[in-house]
Structure 1
């Protein structure tokens, strides 16, 4: 039989939201939607238009600024007004990672050439350090100026060619104008970062990585080009000072790609999770290896507990392991959920230190685990049963590509927020009030707003997004979905602190 190939593009056209298993209330019923909590595109509070398709985004530690990647540019936005502060130019290839320095919304780092499959050896992988306030003072080349210059240069070129008996047709002039504008923009952008700190290296761009230590005094990255995936090559990790960006420590031992790295909250440890089947815990001050946990499969993600006593990690078979870092017996709990094996690349600790949320890459699985009791508290699974499949594909195939890419506890641990790839939507679960919200990608559910996103063949026309930003301020959560056609803002009320927080109730 001829094999059937199902693509991500097909998934986004076919997918329709359906729940197989949901979070349940104390009396065993599925979480209901909060009042006004079931919305889709067209119902957002506000939509921000960008100069192109966004690829990635991050939020400053104080929540005052957002940085959104649009190809080779970074659009910095004031989250009070949601107006653009500046567009940073200087990268010559698409930006693939970025992060604000903690406690300083003025300093941003970004990288290009991190993905080993995309690196051209004639261009180094580069990390750029941006001082946003300084960049605002520099002269800027506006689009109108750029096109005016390219038009004038084209006119001169056409005149010179005509003197040689060669006529540059209108279509050729238009093509030359476009090419000149692009090249002038590139050259001036490159020249504009001549005073910026630049590092030949790669940011770790896995699922929810931690680029900086909590105090913002140090940064982690991998130096130079990505090596070949081979036991003979060392995939080093560098910790550098944010004062002068000089290396403080070089950590050696990994032999394959680093999928996640991050510091313990007390900054004593750095963890690196790798495809070389090891999880390594390093002394972040002296640089020696404290633990090396060897597994049978690739490793995907990890996270430290808030008290820095435990570390949770997931591997390519979906096995979840919790390590007690200061105990004689370090493996505290090993857990594999029922059902198909899957990657589980998204991890978040609850503020109370007893619960861990895990996001899976199949059927948008969410696991809420009680680490102390070693049991599953909640489990959510989506279903592909309502998806509109053509041809030979099995109706459950779409679910295999629908995964939780981001997961985060907010509102003092009362709420869990997730962004689901494939579905392309944000969901919020209030664990104390036992209700939920959903902000759905256009066309993934029925409703009057869905018609705009459905074509004559019943296929969804909205495309893949790239994630979310979550901001707590002024008594509400602001959720920004980074969609293919812009950024949509949604809001959810925060818990009234007079009612008591879930984290206290579970203490």
Structure 2
């Protein structure tokens, strides 16, 4: 079989509309919502990102996009290359451009009326940030005469309109670069016989400008809180405590997680003990515990008060991700090279369940429903909802109540996958992110599906954290950050008349156990097609985004 690249996959793959295994309620498969599936271009509104890497509909080289939404759903931050752009969601207006890269998160924060009054000065202007955006960057540092890019974290302080509280006056890069060259041009001509035509035709002015812009960006960052030698871990880590007062970050190459006081801008304590890279870290929803999951085969649970080690779970093999239940009673994690899923009690570390499926591919995403009874996950071309506390009377196994599976594609084994799952709209909807850039939304109440389908035949960038549900009137709004450099706004669609009839005739959700053979059918295909070359090439694209500090 010829080797397939990720670029070829993005350009050539055509996602089939019908699933190999679909969502269902009461024995009926999910119906398409009205006017679905939808293609890019059928959105209700959009923002075209500047300098998005696209030219005549084609991507110029490799690039990536990531996004995040503020705690009050008013601001959208989009990162592309070395720039972060802040948009007002309601007006679609660009409010601020920042210097940064990689993954971002807004600090969780809900100002009280007393805080608001205290923060307001003369004329109602706030002297304290209404928003704080955490982002990554990398800065050159010299080590033994070698320039090395070092990761840093930056807190950007924004006002209520999404603009910087303390913004430096921009410099005239082109003007200063021209002055610098003029200052040395005469000497270059006299002493080194550089002609004026040679100087004007060279890249000297361009490279002078690039060097000056790079240093100017570093100077602009000095107005903000910077944490040197730091990164926020993998793309699904939850670095902030739920009250927004503390931050978790990793020390590169140190296998150490630092707990940081955001308001005081100081380190509180460190969590050590792992012997390999820490892939996931997060606070429990009640902010009483901190868990870390690493490639050394262990998960470590600490007290969030002082960092004291509470217990260790040792499963062996590389581990990838964890997820606390919303009541903070349980934690799920993937271990044994991502092929097993375990659940422990947070209080004492007791293992209470394990999914009765042996995955043949990495399970990298977990999402608890707010009912604390359903755990969504994705592995390879499958997405599932596992009910770990419900036991099927016949098999005596915990229920896999839903199983969605992409159709098999021999050409694109290991590329066409579901790489993210999350709950939305008060957790009634499950969102699936497919690696070609398509998003699928399943409504568990109406048993309907909405699909926002990538345009076939174009090469698009890799996108991380690209789907957002914004609550509001008439069902709210979906936002998709797409790899063609567009932010799209979609109104949720209601069920068709046929779906409504099926819903009325049905008797509600029926959780049917799925035998192990059915779930592993897709995994067998993934194992067959996941050659080391194709898997590694594709994985590098995803890893490049969250390690780009």
The 2-side partners of 1:240 and 1:136 are apart by 22
Deviation at 1:174, TM superposition (A): 6.1
The 1-side partners of 2:313 and 2:31 are apart by 41
Tell me which of 438, 442, 451 is aligned to 1:429.
Answer: 442
Tell me if structure 1 keeps the 8 A contact 2:338–2:361: yes
Tell me which of 407, 415, 420 is aligned to 2:434.
Answer: 420
Q: Secondary structure at the match of 1:61?
A: coil
Deviation at 1:69, TM superposition (A): 1.5
Tell me if structure 1 keeps the 8 A contact 2:87–2:96: yes
1:481 matched residue in structure 2: 480
Deviation at 1:401, TM superposition (A): 2.2
Q: Does 1:294 align with 2:314?
A: yes
Deviation at 1:13, TM superposition (A): 2.6
The 2-side partners of 1:141 and 1:269 are apart by 43
1:470 matched residue in structure 2: 468
2:51 matched residue in structure 1: 51
Distance 1:215-1:494 versus aligned 2 partners, 3 A rule = farther
Q: Which runs of 5+ in 1 are unaligned?
A: 115-119, 228-234, 386-394, 444-453, 455-459
* Greater Cα offset, 460-469 or 38-47: 460-469
The 1-side partners of 2:199 and 2:463 are apart by 35
Q: Secondary structure at the match of 1:322?
A: strand
The 2-side partners of 1:61 and 1:309 are apart by 24
The 2-side partners of 1:174 and 1:132 are apart by 41
The 2-side partners of 1:150 and 1:15 are apart by 46
1:321 matched residue in structure 2: 342
Tell me if structure 1 keeps the 8 A contact 2:303–2:310: yes
1:107 matched residue in structure 2: 132
* Greater Cα offset, 284-293 or 4-13: 4-13
Distance 1:256-1:113 versus aligned 2 partners, 3 A rule = farther
The 2-side partners of 1:416 and 1:24 are apart by 10
Map 1:319-468 onto structure 2 (within 5 A).
Answer: 319-326=340-347, 330-337=350-357, 341-360=360-379, 362-363=380-381, 365-373=382-390, 374-385=398-409, 395=410, 397-421=411-435, 423-443=436-456, 454=457, 460-468=458-466
Which string of whole-angstrom CA distances, capped at 9 and with x for unpartnered residues, describes residues 57-89 of structure 1? 211111111222222222122212222111112
* Greater Cα offset, 276-285 or 104-113: 104-113
Deviation at 1:345, TM superposition (A): 0.7
The 1-side partners of 2:290 and 2:153 are apart by 20
Distance 1:484-1:169 versus aligned 2 partners, 3 A rule = farther
The 2-side partners of 1:111 and 1:350 are apart by 29
Q: Does 1:129 align with 2:135?
A: no
Q: Does 1:25 align with 2:24?
A: yes
Deviation at 1:113, TM superposition (A): 4.9
2:395 matched residue in structure 1: none
The 2-side partners of 1:111 and 1:55 are apart by 13
Q: Secondary structure at the match of 2:209?
A: helix
Deviation at 1:438, TM superposition (A): 0.8
Q: Secondary structure at the match of 1:180?
A: helix
Tell me if structure 2 keeps the 8 A contact 1:22–1:31: no
The 2-side partners of 1:130 and 1:163 are apart by 48
Deviation at 1:301, TM superposition (A): 0.9
Q: Does 1:214 align with 2:239?
A: no
The 1-side partners of 2:26 and 2:198 are apart by 72
Map 1:104-183 onto structure 2 (within 5 A).
Answer: 106-113=131-138, 122-133=148-159, 135-141=164-170, 145-151=172-178, 153-154=180-181, 158=185, 161-162=188-189, 166-169=194-197, 172-173=200-201, 175-183=203-211
Deviation at 1:246, TM superposition (A): 1.4
Distance 1:39-1:78 versus aligned 2 partners, 3 A rule = same
Distance 1:296-1:80 versus aligned 2 partners, 3 A rule = same
Count of aligned pairs: 451
1:490 matched residue in structure 2: 489
Tell me if structure 1 keeps the 8 A contact 2:437–2:483: no
TM-score (norm 2): 0.75
The 2-side partners of 1:192 and 1:123 are apart by 18
Which string of whole-angstrom CA distances, capped at 9 and with x for unpartnered residues, describes residues 437-471 of structure 1? 1111110xxxxxxxxxx3xxxxx434433341313
Q: Secondary structure at the match of 2:24?
A: coil
Deviation at 1:216, TM superposition (A): 0.4
TM-score (norm 1): 0.81
2:36 matched residue in structure 1: 37
Structure possessing the higher relative contact order (Cα contacts under 8 Å, 6 or more residues apart)? 2
The 2-side partners of 1:32 and 1:148 are apart by 60
The 2-side partners of 1:168 and 1:473 are apart by 61
Tell me if structure 2 keeps the 8 A contact 1:403–1:420: yes
The 2-side partners of 1:159 and 1:384 are apart by 67
Which string of whole-angstrom CA distances, capped at 9 and with x for unpartnered residues, describes residues 243-292 of structure 1? 22211121111111111111111111111111110011111112112221
Distance 1:253-1:113 versus aligned 2 partners, 3 A rule = farther
TM-align CA RMSD: 3.0
